[in-house]
Copies of this chain bind each other. A is one copy, B any other.
Amino acid sequence: MNPMTAPSAGDRLCFSQVRQRTLALTAQWSIEEMAAQSMPDASPTKWHLAHTSWFFEQFILLPLLPGYRPFHPRFNALFNSYYQGHGQPYPRSQRGLLARPSLEEVLAYRAHVDEAMTTPEEHFRETIAPWVTLGLHHEMQHQELMLTDRLHLLWHNPLHRVPTGGPRSLRPALEAREAQSFVGGRVEIGSDAANGFSFDCERPRHPHHLAPYALDSRPVSNGQWLAFMADGGYRNPDCWLSDGWQCCQNEQWQAPLYWQQDSQGAWHQLGLAGFAPLDPDAPVCHISYFEADAYARWAGARLPTEQEWEHAAAPHPVAGHFAESGMWRPRAANGEGMVQLYGDVWEWTQSPYVPYPGFRPTPGIAGEYNGKFMCGQFVLRGGSCATPVAQMRPGYRNFFYPHQRWQFSGLRLAQDLNHARLQP
């Protein structure tokens, strides 16, 4: 399987492969780096490693494998993220205080779960197959979070600092935008069983009416973002939502997260491999919804709805720059037509994360997976350079609060079209 292309519907995810990839990501990380927590929204690597094992233990091994003995009687409380049906979870903001269990114990926990999960008993394997798939998709989500949470931790360490003497002074880019037009009308949105795995929140597939619109052929670049900054974008309340302006003032935002200026005024960007000079052609990244929305208004455009995005992206193969490259940094666009729909950066849409018409949560405790977060968050689409490619599909809905910036989040502009403009 080409790691940069999503598996087709018939492919089955390989349990061992996904689990091993989780560990492979951490091969070079120190014990201390895997234990620290930089903010309540982020979790220590060690916690991610344990929580993804807890998921298999709680949802598969304990209910379905006769005679299974849990690794530790208290791990349920420690590594339950938010499932109220499973008792009071340990407070999220204190995960960095869990000096015990040690990393070593957590790795033993993983091995214990892995061994039980690979029991060769046939009936068991068939019963659990859909749950395994769910668990592996859950694990892949955490693979991405391990990267974004680690980057946020690095950001707080003064030992990672911008090299003095930046290489060159970037000029803001004012290039013409290119866009593709869509006539809209009645379209079908959402995932269905025929297309392989999907989360409950992506279903059911349903009709939706779209007005004519245009979507830019590429995401907004760092160079374009510099033009926004140079034009006072962070100081002009006219561009911003009311809550966004409040947030921008409180947090004193003046640039995307992880940007830093050296003494000569050149911009650098922190990535998982340290600081590097800002690439003006790469998509802008680590911006909040509030910033994305303000940029769009400044540019005389708007963010797309998630339906507009999905309608435009569905015909394209799920291929692009994903986590398997090991680069974990958005790259400059390359090619003609609609590019970078998948991979590189998640694209904020203007759509609040709400249930689709006819939405039904997965029955049982796994029903807490998605539905109970349908308030106050916005949908992002397309995956990023930190997303496993097997995770991605046109209907995938990621969601974060509008003030959050630590994901690999960028934007692509959209615009209303009147019918006249669509005529040849």
Contact = CB atoms under 8 A, between A and B. Distances in A.
Interface string A135-172: 00000000000000000010011110100000000000
B416 A402 contact: no
A243 B82 CA distance: 12
Contacts of A416: 357-358
Chain copies in the assembly? 4
Contacts of A77: 158
Given A209-B209, A350-B355, 14 more contacts: A30-B102, A32-B32, A33-B100, A36-B36, A77-B158, A96-B96, A99-B153, A243-B373, A243-B375, A289-B375, A293-B375, A351-B354, A352-B352, A375-B402
A74 B162 CA distance: 13
Contacts of A102: 30, 32
Contacts of A376: 243, 376, 402
A165 to B, nearest CB: 16
A157 B374 contact: no
A276 interface: no
Contacts of A243: 373, 375-376
Interface in A58-89: 74, 77-78, 82, 84-85
A50 to B, nearest CB: 12
Nearest to A240: B372
Interface in A264-312: 289-290, 293, 302, 305
Contacts of A238: 84-85
Given A99-B36, A100-B159, A159-B74, A350 B357 contact: no
A30 B178 CA distance: 56
Contacts of A98: 157
A103 interface: yes
B352 A354 contact: yes
Interface in A223-279: 237-238, 240-245
